[in-house]
Amino acid sequence: MENKTLIFGHKNPDTDSICSSIVYQMLNEKKGKETKAVRLGNINKETQYVLNYLNIEAPELIEKVEEGQEVILIDHNEFNQSSEGIDKAKILEVIDHHKIANFETSEPLYYTAKPYGCTSTILYEEFKKLNQPINKQEATLMASAIISDTLLLKSPTTTQYDEKALEELGKIAEIDVNTYGLEMLKAGTDLDDFTAEELINLDAKDLNKNSDKFVIAQVNTVSIEDVLKREEELKQAINKQISSKGLSLFVLAITDILNSNSEIIALGEKANIIKSAFGKELENDKAFLEGVVSRKKQLLPNINENI
């Protein structure tokens, strides 16, 4: 069993999960605590852009945690989004900006949850609270996470706290937030190397409501039309997931990061809820959702309420 306490984000990790895990390990080192940032899935191209920019290695990939392993959960709390074996691990701490669901521990723990746009905004405030200086590398990691989760502050999940944090972190990192941020987001939209199966799992969340299991997945792009050239291939991959996981619904949001819109593909026996959720009829299993970019604030609440 790993001696150090492991820090990790959710499965199919995004930039916030990876960057915040690394940053929290750095903060713990300053506090004299032995921790290790790890990851539960492959690094996406957006996150790789950040790691390459800073010339740092990705955290080690782990498949599961052993019974009794001490862990800190970053950017998630739901066990179905976490590591295999998480129910038998010793969870010491959670730092998250999502709703709390499917979560239970046998012992007390430190739990920090704030309704911000990004976990790294919470970590930024933690540095401030502890009077710990933020170096250029830490600032770049946190700024990158905020840019990613808030789509350069355009997402409805963005709060005044994210705006304040990003402004200061950009100065410390010595980056032009808009220039760097757009390049980083564009790096994540290069989808040519991915199979359809990989594409629908790049940023996918497994969710439950009563007896229904459903998935909301999202890919960012600068051209919805380019992604839809693979529509039939994507639908085949989605239908395989529906069969293998016993899903009632699979929604893939193809999000245009430049114009802040999404086209969704919805399949499964509950696909008809899209009309009641968004007031849009599916045409050939698709619907265009103007102004919809956030899974947490726009897609999930509407779908959850109607499924």
How does pLDDT run across 108-135, given as a tens digit for each residue? 999 999 999 999 999 999 999 999 999 9
Domains of the chain: 5-186 (3.90.1640.10), 196-306 (3.10.310.20)
pLDDT in tens, 167-187: 999 999 999 999 999 999 999
Query: Nearest CA to 215 among 75, 81, 73?
Result: 81
pLDDT in tens, 210-240: 888 999 999 999 999 999 999 999 999 999 9
2 band by pLDDT with thresholds 50, 70 and 90: low
Question: pLDDT tens digits, residue range 53-69?
Answer: 999 999 999 999 999 99
Looking at residue 1, its pLDDT comes to 41
Residue 15 confidence (pLDDT) above 70: yes
Going from the C-alpha of 112 to that of each of 141, 196, 215, the distances in angstroms are 20, 36, 26
- Rounded average pLDDT over 183-204: 92
Determine how β-strand 70-74 pairs with β-strand 5-8. parallel
* Per-residue model confidence as pLDDT tens digits over 246-261: 999 999 999 999 899 9
DSSP H helices, the chain, are: 15-30, 45-54, 119-129, 136-150, 160-173, 177-187, 196-201, 224-228, 231-245, 273-278, 300-306
The per-residue pLDDT for 303 is 95
Q: Decide: 77 and 100 in contact? Cβ < 8 Å.
A: yes
Q: Using alpha carbons only, how large is the chain's radius of gyration in Å?
A: 19
Q: What confidence tier does 202 reach under pLDDT thresholds 50, 70, 90? A: confident
> What tokens were used for 136?
């250029």
103 pLDDT higher than 60: yes
Report the C-alpha gap between 305 and 259 in whole angstroms: 27
Please choose, from the candidates 25, 93, 84, the residue with its C-alpha nearest in 3D space to the C-alpha of residue 57: 25
Q: Is 22 helix (H, G, I), strand (E, B) or coil?
A: helix
Please answer whether residues 249 and 275 qualify as being in contact, where contact means their C-beta atoms are separated by less than 8 angstroms: no
Q: Mean pLDDT throughout 75-102?
A: 95
What is the pLDDT confidence band of residue 268, given thresholds at 50, 70 and 90?
Answer: very high
Q: pTM for the full model?
A: 0.86
Min mean pLDDT across 12-16, 93-97, 195-199, 210-214 is at 210-214
- Please report, in angstroms and rounded to a whole number, the separation of the first and last CA atoms in the chain: 41
- CB-based contact 278:299 (threshold 8 Å): no
The whole-number pLDDT of residue 167 equals: 98
